[in-house]
Amino acid sequence: QEQLVESGGGLVKPGGSLRLTCAASGFTFSGYYMSWIRQTPGKGLEWLSYISDSGATTYYADSVKGRFTISRDNAKNSLYMQMNGLRVEDTALYYCAREPPYHGGLDFWGQGTLVTVSA
């Protein structure tokens, strides 16, 4: 069945780095756009970044632009988020989600990986 499994979260000090991975299975990964979204505990959803099916096009929210980098490896069915210069306010549950090319909705989400930024 279709799966998106995030990993790579953990506890990191302010200014530190983490690399999140989203492993896809059960569908043709290369046929979908992908996004990262985060959710602060008890709060709402914040879209962070988008990558096209080929990886040629990327977009970022202002809150992470210049600090986070999205990438993908279609041969490995994997999506990545390199997070540098982490701040306390980046503490959140990070989800990956897929987007069919025929509409802008996010039709399948992983279960998330928790990132905690604390001294």
Partner 1 sequence: SVLTQPPSVSGAPGQSVAISCTGSSSNIGAGYDVHWYQQLPGRAPKLLIYSNNNRPSGVPDRFSGSKSGTSASLAITGLQAEDEGDYYCQSFDSNLSGSKVFGGGTKLAVL
Which residues would be at the binding site for partner 1 (CB under 8 A)?
35, 37, 44-47, 50, 58-62, 95, 97, 103-112
Between residues 27 and 47, which has the closer beta carbon with respect to partner 1? 47
Are the CB atoms for 38 and 30 separated by under 8 Å?
A: no
Between residues 18 and 37, which has the closer beta carbon with respect to partner 1? 37
Q: Could you tell me how many residues make up the chain?
A: 119
Between residues 12 and 45, which has the closer beta carbon with respect to partner 1? 45
The DSSP 8-state label assigned to residue 55 in this structure reads S
Taking the complex as a whole, how short is the minimal distance between the CB of residue 39 and partner 1, in angstroms? 8
Q: State the Cα–Cα distance between residues 112 and 94, nearest whole angstrom.
A: 5
In this structure, what token pair is assigned to residue 36?
Answer: 């990262």
Q: State the Cα–Cα distance between residues 94 and 20, nearest whole angstrom.
A: 9
Between residues 33 and 80, which has the closer beta carbon with respect to partner 1? 33
In this structure, what token pair is assigned to residue 66?
Answer: 């210049």
Taking the complex as a whole, how short is the minimal distance between the CB of residue 13 and partner 1, in angstroms? 28
Taking the complex as a whole, how short is the minimal distance between the CB of residue 57 and partner 1, in angstroms? 8
